[in-house]
Structure 1
Amino acid sequence: MSATETPKLEVQIREKLGSRYSDRVRKEGFIPAVIYGHKKGPVHVQANKGALVELLRSHAHLIDVVVSGKTEHCVVKDMQWDYLGDNIIHVDLERVDLSEKVTLEVDLVLAGDPKALNEAGAFLDHPISKLEVACRADSIPENVTVDISELTTEKAITVADINMPAGVEATTDADSVVAQIKIAKEQPEEEVVEAGEGEPEVIGAKEEEEKSE
């Protein structure tokens, strides 16, 4: 994404901090956030929930944050979710220069329909859904696409196999498995025991019989 396409997000400074005030901010339709980095002090802000969520859903990583009339280039460094994992409750925004190298996570997108999935019991195992990358702040990809159309049961695709965009380097462990096709093992059939067969002996039953004789 080039600098001219960088989305903007207007935020307001938060004067009162703490969980009590953060909860109040959320009830009013905002998401608490903090801007930090570049040897400047942190600035606690609040962003309109609808505007921020829309940016994040569009895979925006670099954002021009407007606070008190001043624009700062920031990357989304971290997001905190509620205990159900449904709602964002806090966002960390790190200041950057457009030409500097940054490290962050982007989504992995699998593309293609491997023929090996037509085999009996075959299923796709996708251990990781995000990839950590390093690149210039103004060249962050929305996501990284991995072609799995030629994937077989013989060999998994690892991070080292990914064809990365120009200027983007994967920093996730090169041996990490991105996708592989596995074959489900057949479960052994359970033995059906006929009624009356293999009935457990009742402890004490034989002893009672002997006493009654």
Structure 2
Amino acid sequence: MSNDTIKLQAQARTKFGKGAARQIRRENKIPAVMYGHGADPLHITLVGHDAMMALKNPNALLTIVLDGDEQLALAKDVQRDPIKPVIEHIDLVIVRKGEKVVIDVPVHLEGEAAPETLVNLDNSSLQVEVEATNIPESVTVSVEGLEAGTLILAGAVELPAGAMLITDPEALVVNVTQQISAEALEAELAEAEAEAGIEHEPTDEEAAEAEGEAAEGAEGDAAAEGDAEKSDDA
């Protein structure tokens, strides 16, 4: 956990609407709104590059500096462009020192499970309640040497001091299974496709092989007929 905050310089925003937002983004800034603790929503702009770097950690504790005043905040919602690496808008929620917040913390796996196993991460994050000024970047789960059939539930994950689990303790986080061979996987897929009535066009190799077998069969039939005719002539 870290008590460090990231300072972001902000400016008050007085123009609104899509046109104003586009203009703000053209200036390499990001429109944002900050609210919470009964305060009126405060519309601001943030320096684009600084905000993007800060929000590489979605749970980063931010110090928003506006007209010399500082306010602690967390990013509540970050709207990103679906194509370009651009943040379009940020919702910030005001927090206080000592206040508890509920956030999603990523699960980080370390170690290697037993040979010929697969490690499935069923829940990539856990929801926990922590102090706003003491948010963990992640929680670590060791899979070192775990055998197939091992299940790790949320309640068994060790949390940082002061953190309380909100996720259902019975929620599956890690499932270690037996690794399946390529042949077995292919057989399962073929069986599933057959049950679903899915038919595939033969590949060029399969078609050539089938033609070869058909030709061999035809030659065999012709030879058999020839032998039969010779036998009749005799």
Q: Answer yes or no: same fold by TM over 0.5.
A: yes
Question: Is 2:54 aligned against 1:38?
Answer: no
SS at match of 1:140: coil
SS at match of 2:185: coil
Mind listing any 5+ residue stretches in structure 2 that lack a counterpart?
A: 191-201, 216-234
**1:157 aligns to what?**
152
**1:194 aligns to what?**
210
**2:49 aligns to what?**
50
Superposition deviation, residue 186 in structure 1? 2.1
- Equivalent residues in 2 for 1:176-195, closer than 5 Å: 176-182=171-177, 183-184=179-180, 185-188=184-187, 194-195=210-211
Superposition deviation, residue 108 in structure 1? 1.9
- Equivalent residues in 2 for 1:79-118, closer than 5 Å: 79-84=78-83, 86-115=85-114, 118=115
* Contact persistence 2:5–2:60 (CA under 8 A): no
Query: Cα RMSD over matched residues?
Result: 2.5
Structure 1 residues 54 and 154: CA distance shift in structure 2, 3 A = same
The size of the alignment, in residue pairs, is 192
Higher helix share: 2
Tell me the distance in 2 between the aligned counterparts of 1:85 and 1:178.
32
Amino acid in structure 2 at the alignment position of 1:139: N
* Contact persistence 2:108–2:140 (CA under 8 A): yes
Amino acid in structure 2 at the alignment position of 1:168: A
Superposition deviation, residue 66 in structure 1? 0.7
**1:21 aligns to what?**
20
SS at match of 2:108: strand
SS at match of 1:61: coil
SS at match of 2:101: strand
Superposition deviation, residue 124 in structure 1? 2.7
Question: Is 2:145 aligned against 1:146?
Answer: no
Higher mean C-alpha deviation, range 179-188 or range 75-84: 179-188
Structure 1 residues 42 and 161: CA distance shift in structure 2, 3 A = same
SS at match of 2:119: strand
Identity over aligned pairs, percent = 31
* Contact persistence 1:77–1:104 (CA under 8 A): no
Amino acid in structure 2 at the alignment position of 1:140: I
Tell me the distance in 2 between the aligned counterparts of 1:88 and 1:149.
38
Superposition deviation, residue 123 in structure 1? 3.0
SS at match of 2:148: coil
Tell me the distance in 1 between the aligned counterparts of 2:31 and 2:147.
46
Superposition deviation, residue 39 in structure 1? 0.3
* Contact persistence 1:7–1:60 (CA under 8 A): no
Considering only CA atoms, is the larger Rg found in Structure 1 or Structure 2?
Answer: 2
Tell me the distance in 2 between the aligned counterparts of 1:141 and 1:176.
20
Question: Is 2:124 aligned against 1:129?
Answer: yes
* Contact persistence 2:59–2:103 (CA under 8 A): no
Tell me the distance in 1 between the aligned counterparts of 2:175 and 2:83.
29
Higher mean C-alpha deviation, range 9-18 or range 181-190: 181-190
